[in-house]
Amino acid sequence: MANKEERIAGIIRKSITEIITMELKNPHLGFVTIPEVKVSKDFSYAKVYVSFIKEEDIDEGMKVLEKSKGFIRSGLAKRLDTRRCPELVFVLDESFKREARITELLNKDKGK
């Protein structure tokens, strides 16, 4: 069953990326990437992790994604071959920040 969840999550990730880059016309969004999508066991919810290249784009970008959630979900429903389209929850992915901080601390420790 986990294999099906991973497959659906991959399809959702690819589809949402296409919708955001090709169909969503909002200049306030900035450059956004979707590193990961996690789907609930019953496929009713999908956590979409998003990250932004510029830190100043984060607040405005998250607002744009929340406002465009219905448009993105309707585009996703057209692409998915499932009975129901999952409810989307956008979550800011801060793993890049943590990774950069850990690398910085390790480099500082090597310098001593």
In the chain, where are the structural domains located?
2-111
**C-alpha to C-alpha distance for 39 and 59, rounded to whole angstroms:** 24
> What's the pLDDT at 112?
55
Average pLDDT over residues 61-90: 92
Instruction: Note the pTM of the prediction, 2 decimals.
Output: 0.82
Please name the amino acid found at residue 79.
Answer: R
Tens-place pLDDT, residues 54-64: 888 889 999 99
Q: What class, spelled out in words, does domain 2-111 have in CATH? A: alpha beta
